[in-house]
Amino acid sequence: MSAEFVYLDHNATTPLDPIVFEAMVPWLRDQHGNPSSVHHWGRQAREAVEEARERVADLLGVPALEVVFTASGTEANNGVIFGLAAAAGNRGRLVISALEHPSVKAAADRLESEGMEVVRVPPSADGVVLASEVVAALDDETRLVCLMLAHNEVGTLQPVAEVAAVCRDRGIPVLCDAVQAVGKIPVHPQDLGIDFLTLGGHKFHGPLGAAALWIRDGVEVPPYLVGGGQERHRRASTPNVPALVGLGAAAARAAAGVEERYNHLASLRDRFEAGLQAIADSVVHCGDSPRLPNTSSVAFAGVEGQALMIRLDLAGFAVSTGSACSSGVVEPSRALLAMGISPELALSTLRVSFGVPNTVEEVDRFLATLGAVVGDLRQAETAVRSGRRR
C-alpha cells in the first residue's frame, strides 16, 4: 500500500496500534498455554487474560468480575438478546431503536418471526431517538430495551441514561451497544444506569476478534455458548489469549489521554466540515446534533455515493458510503431513511470517520481531491442527461 494512501474509515475498523501488536507478539510466538490448564503454561495464560480483563474494566470504570470476554460485539449483542428472550420463552416485548446495529436488528427480526413482539422506535430528523418515545413503547411485558450509545453512520449520541433511568425504575433491563463510542468518548456504564454494554477492540486500535460484554452485578442472563466453565460459566470457549492481551493493551491506551484524543479528532472533523463549504450542494447530516468527535456523514446532491467512493479509493482515500449492497443492488441506508432523508440524498452519502493517525495535511488533501471528483462526476452526469434529452 502506498504511503500516500489515506485511511478515513475508522468507524469500520482501526489500524492495530504498534504497542498493542508488541504486547501480543509473545502470545503469538512463545507463550501457548490454555488458561484452563493448571500447569505453569496455563497459569501464565490465565494471568494474562485476567490482566486484560482488569484493563478493560479500568477503561469502563467497573469491577473486573463484571467483564465477560467475547469474540465480537455482534456475539455480545446476540448473547444478551437471545439469552433474555429464551429465559422469557420468546414471549413479551422487545423495544429497540431503528438505528441499531444489524446484530441487534437481525436478532430482533428473528425473535419477531418466532412470536416475540418487537417495537422499533424511529429517530427524529436530527438522528437522535427521543427518550420519551422509547419510554412510551414500554409495557409490563417488555423484556429488554436496546439503545446504542453512538450511531455508526452519522455519529449521533443517543439518550441512553435518560431511557435507562425509567427502565431501572420499572425493572426493565437495558442493553447498550457502545462499540462505536468506546475509545472515542468516555464511557462509564454505571453512570449510564444500564445493565449490559458491548464493546469491540478493533474500534480503538485493538485486534479483530476481541470484544467484551459488561454485565451489571446481580443481573442474570443465560449463557449463549455452553460446554465449558470459561468466563465464570457465562461464555464457554477457550479464550483467544493473544487477541485478549491485545484488547487489554488497547484498553489501557484508550484510557490514557482521552481529552487530547477527543480534541484531535474533533479538530479534524470540524476542519473537514468547514472545508465542505467550497463544494456546492454538500450536506452534513445531523451536523447540529451531539456526535462522536470523529464522524461526518455528508451527502453531495446529484452524485452517486458508490461511484464517488470508488473514485476516491482510486485516488488514495478510503471512506465508506451511507448505503448497503445486497445481492448486487445498492440500497439507501435504512438509518438515513428513518431520519427522513430522501432515498436520492441517502444514496449520495459518504461516511468519513477520522482516527488518531490522521493529520490536518491529510484532511486538506482529501478536501481538494473530493471537490475535484465531485465536480467531475456531476459534469459527467450532466453530459449523460444532455445526451438523453437529444
- Provide the annotated active-site residues: 325
CA 306, distance to chain mean position in Å, is 21
Contact 367, 277 (CB under 8 A): no
The DSSP output letter for 227 is S
**Phi, psi at 118, each rounded to 5°:** -125, 130
166: amino acid identity, one letter = V
> Which three cell numbers, joined as nine digits, stand for 179?
462499540
Give which of 94, 117, 77 is closest to 167, Cα–Cα: 94
The rounded radius of gyration (Å) of the Cα atoms in the chain is 22
For the chain, first and last CA: distance in Å?
A: 44
Give the H/E segment covering residue 382: helix 360-389
Cα–Cα distance measured from residue 379 to residue 385, given in angstroms and rounded to the nearest whole number: 10
What residues pair up with 299 in beta bridges, in sequence order?
283, 349
Q: 110-113, long-range: CB within 8 Å, 24+ apart, which pairs? A: 111/81, 111/82, 111/85
Contact 41, 232 (CB under 8 A): no
Cα–Cα distance measured from residue 216 to residue 29, given in angstroms and rounded to the nearest whole number: 36
| Residue environment code for 27-59, b if the CB has 16+ CB neighbours within 10 A, otherwise e | beeeeebebeeeeeeeebbbebbeebbbbbbeb
Name the one residue in this structure whose C-alpha cell is 489501557.
252
Residue 13 — left, alpha, or beta (φ > 0 → left; ψ -120 to 50 → alpha)? beta
Residue 282 — left, alpha, or beta (φ > 0 → left; ψ -120 to 50 → alpha)? beta
What residues pair up with 350 in beta bridges, in sequence order?
298, 321
